Each structure stands twice: as structure tokens, then as C-alpha cells.
Chains A and B, each alone.
Chain A
């Protein structure tokens, strides 16, 4: 492919991407009133929350434990050079609550629940279930899309907290059981060094933002999918790719702001 063709291809992609973002924003504007309506039927949201929880809980628990254990090993390896291994608990807790918990949970969520959400809505569209609802005078936005959106938005921060908690436990097991650190020191350093307002709230803000973005992308892609099996599978892939990129880019932006004390 020649040089200028490459450039024009890139330009087309950028324009296509901006166009999609515009459509996704319009969709969000249409969805906004439905989100309010859906709140009145909390039962539907709880149902969806349960479904997403079932989908993602195990993978979050397992990944959280492993990430915590790895952090303990790696952190110890570095800290011990400066004779600072007593800060291991603090290092692990900060890495998890501020960064790894929210980001990895959101990535896992996008791959597991986000893609499933897109596929589900896309298939409902492809099999005329959404059309059928419209003909029964039921608006699918508040009935189908909004509860799933809420559930995803709520689930990500909850799962991120679980991820961090399990990660810290995993690190504790490795640090105390394997590396021979003192358990009391592990916890007390963590307790005195982790700030609720900065570190925990900062992580929570991130995961709330990630939850919103992933759920938004997932329901948009599902609702916007071409109503064919090929269209649905493409939409599923797009959900995972766009969510992952959005999570990492937003994480960079938010981290930059938070570290400068904004």
C-alpha cells in the first residue's frame, strides 16, 4: 500500500471513529430519560446485577488473588534491596486500590460481562424481540437497556472493591506465609499509609467512571448492531476493543489529574 493511501485510510478510520462516538453520544442522550424510568423498577436492575455478578465474580476473585500474590512477590523483591520490606503491605494496598483494582476489574468486566451484554441485546434485536416489545407498546430502552446499563455501572465499582480486597488477602498470604514477613507490620503499615479520601476514593471514582463507560459502550454496540449473526459478533468484538482502549486512556487522564491533586 502506498504512503498516501495509508494516510487516507487512517483519516477514514479517524472520521469513522468520531462518527461512532457521535452516534454513541446521541444514543446516551436518548437513554438518559429511560435511566430515570428504570430506577422505579429496582427489581429489574437487581436481577441484572445478579446475572452480571454471576458472570464476573469468579473471574474477579481468581484474578484478584493472583494479582495480589504477584504484587507481593515483585514488591518484596524490590523493597528488600532498600531494607524496606515492612512497607510491602502499603505498596500492595496502594497499587491495588488506586490502580490495578479499578483498571483490571474494568478490563475483565468488559471482556466477560460487557461482551455478553452486547451479544444479548444484539441477539434480541436480531430475533425481533425488541421489535416485538415495541409492538406490545413496551419501550425497550427503559425495559431492556436501562436496567442492564445500571447493573453494569453499579457492578464495576463493587467488583473493583472485591478485587482489591482479595488481592490484599492474596498478598498477605504470600508475604506472611511464604516470605516470612510479620503480619502485624503488614497491616499496620497499610492502615497508617492508605488515605481514605485520596486513595480509596480516588480508586472508587475511577471504577465508577469505568463502569459507566463500559456499560455505555456495551449497550450501545448491542443496540446499534446489525441484526444478523455477523453483525452481532462484530459488535461484541468492538465492545471489548473500544472498552479496553477507553479504560486505559481514561485511566491515564484521571491518574494525571489525581496525582496533581486536582
Chain B
């Protein structure tokens, strides 16, 4: 499972330790994302995938260890430099996070209006181009409340790539999509990545999709990387926790439960804590 040596990392996570409310989320996380690649980050619910993206985006700071993006240590950047770095990253939120008081067109135009002094006619062209990419040019006058979940996700995607970022982080881009939209998004992520020369980080628990588009896959569990490799590596491996995840088995070394006292003790306990 050695990764190809030729790759040049855009994101490097080193010895990352991070706890929330005293509960460790990452104990000792190490991973790299190669420039120009599509990297999938997988893991069960609550393993800290969204948290990891927030650490990469500088919305959280590591307790120990470091997260480097494009050669800059994200956690210790002053706000101005952090904002400069963020202009070069796009992030697709799990919920889409579209601005509800703006229509689809204005949502995609938002980063352009905020960060550039482009003339209106050019913004118009660029926005239509981005919307055409996600197939929603015709929906430009709708408001977010009038979109389905999948459409909102596609608009958010158009917005995330509005400024042609060097890297896009996708948080669960496939969740709750019908098979056709899912196929469209999968293809889109790959094509955008290759056509625009971006780097993509895709957080997901969809094994099939991840294997379909990712150049490299990390499987998180228990606060660290429990397996990594290409899709082929991951499917061939016989490490039990990987097999459990890839095959979707409820029982195995990876715990399904959030940490809790013994079930029986909990049921018998009189007092609520």
C-alpha cells in the first residue's frame, strides 16, 4: 500500500491530535493529499470526517500536530492570510449552505462579487458557465427554498468552483441523491478535477462511488487512518476492519456504537447522569 513517490502533496496532515469537549476525535492522524488527485476520505458516521475538513479550512485548530495546505500551516495563520488561502479553496457543505435571501444566480455570483471587481457582463457569463456545468442554467432565477436537495447541492458545487479554486472539499456530496444525480455529480467531480487542474477531497461513506472516482482512499476510524490505498488495494485487502467497512457488515472490529457504558448497566441504572 505504498503510495506513488512522484506525487507532490497539496495537503499534509501530521500527527494530528484533536479533541472536542474532552472527547478525542483524532488521536494521531497522518495523511497527505496529492496535488491534482481526487482523494476520498471515508469512515463511519461520527469518525470526524467533517471535523477534518474544518481543520483543513482553518475553522478549527489542532490541539497538537499540524495541517498544511499549499505549504501554509493552517492552524497558525493570521486571519488575513487564512482568508487569502480560503479564496483558493472551495468547500461544499453537507447541507449546501446556500444563501437563502439570494437566488441561484446571485449565490453563484456571490464569491465573484465579493472578491473580484469583474464587470457585470463578465460575471453574467461566468455564472452561466458554472451553472451550465452543473446543469442548472435554467434554474438561475429560483431561490434556494425552491430547490430540491440534489439541486441545492449542485448549485453549491457551482458556487464552490466559482473562483476556480486550487482545491475543493466535498462533504458528503452523494448523500441523499437519486442514482442519476449521483452519477452526474460523480462524473462532475472527476471532470472538474481534471479539466480545471484542481485537487479534490471527497468525504463520503459511499463505498462504490468512492472507489469509482478516487485516485486514493483513506479510511478513518478510531481517531486515525486505519487503511489507505487505491480503490484496487482497498478491495483486495483482507484487513478485517477494511473488509467490514467495504462490505458494509454491522459486526466487526469497527464499533457501530457511540462510546457508552455497558448496555445492561445503563438499563439498570436508576439515576440519570
Is B114 engaged at the interface, CB distance under 8 Å to the other chain?
Answer: yes
Bitwise interface map of A from 104 to 130 toward B, beta carbon under 8 Å scored 1, else 0? 000000000000000010011001110
Bitwise interface map of B from 89 to 105 toward A, beta carbon under 8 Å scored 1, else 0? 10101010111110000
Asked if B95 contacts A127 (CB within 8 A), the reply is: yes
Asked if A127 contacts B100 (CB within 8 A), the reply is: yes
Asked if B95 contacts A136 (CB within 8 A), the reply is: no
Within 8 A of A (CB), among B71-94: 83-84, 86-87, 89, 91, 93
Known interface pairs A127-B95, A131-B59. Does A137 touch B100 (Cβ–Cβ under 8 Å)?
A: no
Within 8 A of B (CB), among A118-155: 120, 123-124, 127-129, 131-139, 143
The listed residue (B59, B84, B100, B111) touching A136 by CB distance below 8 A is B111
The listed residue (A128, A132, A137, A143) touching B83 by CB distance below 8 A is A137
A residues within 8 A CB of B111? Answer: 136, 138
Asked if A136 contacts B110 (CB within 8 A), the reply is: yes
Is B48 engaged at the interface, CB distance under 8 Å to the other chain?
Answer: no
Q: How far is the CA of A131 from the CA of B97 in the complex (A)?
A: 8
Asked if A136 contacts B99 (CB within 8 A), the reply is: no
Is B36 engaged at the interface, CB distance under 8 Å to the other chain?
Answer: no
Which bracket fits the contact residues of A? Answer: 10 to 19
User: How many interface residues does B have (CB within 8 Å)?
Assistant: 20
B residues within 8 A CB of A136? Answer: 86-87, 91, 110-111, 114, 159
Minimal Cβ-Cβ distance residue in A for B79: A139
Is B115 engaged at the interface, CB distance under 8 Å to the other chain?
Answer: yes
A residues within 8 A CB of B89? Answer: 135
User: Closest CB of chain A to B79's CB: distance in Å?
Assistant: 8
B residues within 8 A CB of A133? Answer: 99
Q: Is the interface of A mostly helix, strand, loop or mixed?
A: helix
Asked if A128 contacts B59 (CB within 8 A), the reply is: no
Q: How far is the CA of A108 from the CA of B65 in the complex (A)?
A: 53
A residues within 8 A CB of B93? Answer: 128, 131-132, 135
Minimal Cβ-Cβ distance residue in B for A130: B97
User: Closest CB of chain A to B171's CB: distance in Å?
Assistant: 10
Is B43 engaged at the interface, CB distance under 8 Å to the other chain?
Answer: no
Q: How far is the CA of A78 from the CA of B178 in the complex (A)?
A: 74
Asked if B98 contacts A143 (CB within 8 A), the reply is: no
User: Closest CB of chain A to B244's CB: distance in Å?
Assistant: 31
Q: How far is the CA of A136 from the CA of B163 in the complex (A)?
A: 10
Q: How far is the CA of A25 from the CA of B98 in the complex (A)?
A: 30
Asked if B99 contacts A129 (CB within 8 A), the reply is: yes
Asked if B97 contacts A129 (CB within 8 A), the reply is: yes
B residues within 8 A CB of A124? Answer: 99-100
Known pairs A128-B97, A129-B100 / 15 extra A-B pairs, C-beta < 8 Å? A124-B99, A127-B100, A128-B93, A131-B59, A132-B93, A132-B97, A133-B99, A135-B59, A135-B89, A135-B91, A135-B93, A136-B110, A136-B111, A137-B83, A138-B115
Which 9 residue pairs spanning A and B have beta carbons closest together?
A132-B97, A137-B86, A128-B97, A137-B83, A135-B91, A137-B87, A138-B114, A136-B111, A128-B95
Q: What is the interface of chain B, defined by CB distance below 8 A to chain A? A: 57, 59, 83-84, 86-87, 89, 91, 93, 95, 97-101, 110-111, 114-115, 159
Sampled A-B contacts (9; CB under 8 Å): A128-B95, A129-B98, A129-B99, A129-B100, A131-B59, A131-B97, A135-B86, A136-B91, A139-B83
